[in-house]
Chain A
Amino acid sequence: MTTETEQPVSTQGFYRYHDVIGLLSPAGPGFSGPVAVTTGPDGMLYVANRANPKQPDGVRVSRCTTDGDYLDQFGVWGEGPGEFIWVTDIAFNPQGEVYLADEHSHRISVFGADRQFTRTFGGHGSGPGELDRPSGLEFGPGGNLYVVDTLNHRVQALTANGEFVSKWGALGDAEGQFNMPWGIAIDISGDVYVTDWRNDRVQKFDAEGNFLMAFGASGGDEGQFNRPNGISVDADGDIYVCDWLNDRVQVFDRTGGFKDVLIGHSGMSKWGRTLLAANPDIERKLELAVQNIEPKRRFYRPVSVHVDGNGKVYVADCYRHRVQIYQKL
């Protein structure tokens, strides 16, 4: 847990800040540009790290407990089997296998529950089953994998082995069209939510891709977006959207009505506390910082959001190399 006793609540009071896990680090306890966060069937937190071009060692998936105890990491930078360059998302199938999207190699890599590489599929192109910079991944209740195929401006449904099932979408801003979509979420009834990134909206479809509704517009007010990306739906049907360039996470009810907003309330993480205990000079400098409060607590380019079965909301706070956690009240 954080060392802070303060537990602030969100703007509308539906969520309380709970904890933070993170530390800038290219290996071991810590993250480096986290772009995807989710919990696995083992109840552990999985965080995909994008790192930076000069830091290929930082590209990995970190695994830790939801209380912030580091366990291990897997995956390495590269273009060979089981390697990835520009990781974008993580998803688990019902068998507990881990699927990773890589928008550099245009493929999906699959790892077993033991986190050993098993297979890959995809490949660059615009045909059925082919991908052009895949991003969001999610499994539907029927066992199909839904892939956001960003530069093809579409969503594809594939089998767990990558065989083509269906697709929908094309470049545009009409209903059912997309402009560089990014994130995807699926609710318990199988309906699909997609963040239509450059159209600044969320679109909802049924499992076959039939348009159901859309909400959002460009801007910074409540219910508006500036390039939404990560998305999740909880058991109550509430919809969580990372409002990327507005540096916030907005929450909507099942009809798309605005409900609440999370702006980030991070304290010091367990890993950060360990680092500072060993480096008192850093802590001294931090305490001297004039800008000690706002920029360091708030979200800075939140990319991914995940809600677990207990109403805990995990947000990958990318440029701050951490996961902030809220509790739904």
Chain B
Amino acid sequence: MPETDKPLLAHLLRRAGFGATFQELDRYSQLDYETVVDQLLHPELQPAIEEDVLERYYIDWKESRNIEGALTESVYRMNAYAGGRPLQEKIALFWHGVFATGLAKVLHEKTMLNQIDLFREQGLGNFRELLVGLAKDPAMIFWLDNNFNHKDAPNENWGRELLELFSLGVGMNGQENYTEDDVQSAARAFTGWTIDDDNVTSFPFGKLPWRFRYLPDDHDEEEKTFLGHTGNFNGEDIIDIIVEQPATARFISRHLYNFFVADDVQVPAWQHTPPGDPEAIKILEEEYFRSNYDIRSMLDVLFNSDFFKSDRARFAKVKSPAEVVVGTLHLLGDFKFPKRGIFDVAMGCRYMGQDLLNPPSVEGWHTGEEWIDSGSLVERINFVADQVSDIQQPGVRAMVDALLDRMDELDPESVIDACLELLGHMRLHEKNKAHLAGEVRAMLAQRSGLVAGSPEDRLFAENTFLHTMKMIGSSREYQFA
């Protein structure tokens, strides 16, 4: 069987995961593209990480007692799964951005991590079931005050955000998708959906888990009218009506496109700004209904589509901070076994502007170019440059060894091309590539450029590769997925 197009596979793995090492691309290229997509869509068929080992060394993570510990746990897990179950982690990151819930208010790290587990386990499944799980999720209930949503004193926070930010969106095609009366009806339908033990502190013996509880006596049993339907609705009835709406299909399709294909305008602008690729969105909307709201089916269509595979979609997205941090760790092969130091590395996400488990608001993070400002850009470049030139990292060692094996003689263009390939079939703008070639040429002027010469020649070649990778890691292009 001919080898599958590696640059295309690298593109797929950047989007459905956190990038791939050159060894992983070698393995994937022995399969046809559709088979690779299918594997990615079924992470549950791949081995789980060794949870016992993780808990043995990071003994506090099971019961994370601070925001930073929980953030670190998330980064470790994303990196540990980046090779075997990348889409499980990527879809969890996706839903965390859509259903943004934050520890600034929740203040119960384990409960927040349980919500991320919900996204891992159900994020590729049926959207209706995911919404029901979300409505019963203790972190979400607390985050949007549904524990204060009572029969005699409704609180509309959850009901409103369910419609505005989690399913329908405010509007589409210039029209509004729901009314204030719909918000009130939705809120009333979720009265009695609450949690246990949210008021218990960690003293004296640690925190207790929060749990969902339905209180029938606190549920509004009166008739409600919601999106043209009338009845004595409970929460699941509201979700049943929501998932049938064309606006929901549009909303989820745009989110998936924005996250997996190309940056779109920010969510609040969707009511009045049509999708950048309406044909692609139409295809995804049709699959949403055809598959009975199945996210896995939608992603199957998306990853196999021409609009995803097209050259236009390559490097069309600014990496999120989590993609920068986890993608770089995975490339380096670092922290695949618990060791100290992951905490400091994981904080990179925060310093780059994505405080995982603690988004700036229920609207989540603004993405695309809004990830970048002068401060976060410096953090990104420093983080990557420091890591990809560290020969002690197993992934860097493997790349350098591969380069030493491949090349007999060094010339600037071939060094750069080989490094770009090993770093994930990256591309550099011609102007940047010419500039980098000048740098490499200046280095090579110091010696013969023979790789297989003396030990000093070999060391010089290593340093040339490391310096080249460091400069590529510092480039504008590395910031794009």
Contacts and interface: CB of A to CB of B under 8 A. Distances in A.
Interface of A: 22-24, 33, 35, 50-55, 85-86, 103-104, 180, 182, 197-198, 227, 245, 266, 268-269, 271-272, 275-276, 279, 282, 285-286, 288-291, 295-296, 300-301, 303, 318-322
Contacts of A319: 62-63, 206
B65 interface: yes
B52 interface: yes
- The secondary-structure label for the interface of chain A is loop
A271 B203 CA distance: 11
Given A54-B68, A54-B343, A227-B52, A300 B199 contact: no
A271 B60 CA distance: 22
Interface in B59-88: 59-60, 62-66, 68-69, 72
A291 B196 contact: yes
B201 interface: yes
A50 B340 CA distance: 13
Closest 7 CB pairs of A and B: A272-B204, A52-B60, A290-B196, A53-B343, A320-B205, A23-B204, A54-B66
Given A52-B65, A291-B196, A296 B205 contact: yes
A50 B144 CA distance: 35
Contacts of B205: 22-24, 266, 272, 296, 320-322
A53 B208 contact: no
A224 to B, nearest CB: 15
B214 interface: no
Contact of B200 (A271, A286, A321): A286
A85 B65 CA distance: 18
Contacts of B65: 52, 55
B202 A24 contact: yes
A271 B205 CA distance: 11
Contacts of A104: 340
B203 A24 contact: yes
A268 B204 CA distance: 8
Nearest to B213: A290
Contacts of A85: 340
Contacts of A198: 52
B197 A291 contact: yes
Contact of A289 (B63, B208, B340): B208
A53 B202 contact: no
Residue among B63, B69, B211 with the highest chain A CB neighbour number at 10 A: B63
B206 A24 contact: yes
Contacts of A269: 204
Contact of B204 (A22, A51, A303): A22
B209 interface: yes
Contacts of B72: 53
Interface of B: 52-53, 55-60, 62-66, 68-69, 72, 196-197, 199-206, 208-209, 211, 213, 340, 343
B358 to A, nearest CB: 14
Contacts of A23: 203-205
23 contacts: A22-B204, A24-B203, A24-B205, A33-B60, A51-B60, A52-B66, A53-B69, A54-B69, A103-B57, A182-B56, A227-B56, A271-B204, A275-B204, A282-B201, A288-B199, A289-B197, A289-B200, A291-B209, A291-B211, A301-B62, A319-B62, A319-B63, A322-B205
B52 A295 contact: no
A275 B206 CA distance: 14
Contacts of A296: 205, 208
A86 B201 contact: no
A53 B213 CA distance: 33
A51 B63 CA distance: 11
A285 B204 contact: no
A269 B62 CA distance: 23
A183 to B, nearest CB: 12
A300 B68 CA distance: 22
Given A53-B343, A245-B52, A290-B196, A33 B59 contact: yes
A59 to B, nearest CB: 11
Nearest to B67: A54
Contacts of A50: 59-60
Given A22-B205, A50-B60, A295-B208, 8 more contacts: A33-B60, A52-B64, A86-B57, A104-B340, A275-B204, A291-B208, A301-B59, A321-B204
Nearest to A303: B59
Contacts of A86: 57, 340
B59 A290 contact: no
Nearest to B210: A291
Nearest to A273: B204
A52 B69 contact: yes
A300 to B, nearest CB: 7
B200 A295 contact: no
B79 to A, nearest CB: 16
Contacts of A245: 52
Contacts of B56: 180, 182, 197, 227
B179 to A, nearest CB: 37
B62 to A, nearest CB: 7
A300 B206 CA distance: 10
A180 B54 CA distance: 13
A104 B338 CA distance: 11
Given A53-B60, A85-B340, A285 B200 contact: yes
Contacts of B200: 285-286, 288-289
B74 to A, nearest CB: 14
B59 A295 contact: no
A261 B68 CA distance: 37
B276 to A, nearest CB: 42
Nearest to A287: B200
Nearest to A198: B52
Interface centre among A22, A51, A269, A285 (most CB of B within 10 A): A285
B204 A295 contact: no
Contact of A282 (B59, B196, B203): B203
Given A52-B66, A290-B196, A290-B197, A24 B60 contact: no
Contacts of A321: 204-206
Contact of A276 (B58, B204, B213): B204
A255 B205 CA distance: 36
Contacts of B60: 33, 50-53
A227 to B, nearest CB: 5
B158 to A, nearest CB: 21
Nearest to A22: B205
Contacts of A271: 204
Most buried by B among A54, A55, A268: A54
Contacts of B66: 52, 54-55
B15 to A, nearest CB: 31
A315 B205 CA distance: 15
Given A291-B196, A296-B208, A318 B203 contact: no
A50 B343 CA distance: 15
B203 A279 contact: yes
Contacts of A290: 196-197, 211, 213
B108 to A, nearest CB: 13
Contact of B199 (A268, A285, A295, A320): A285
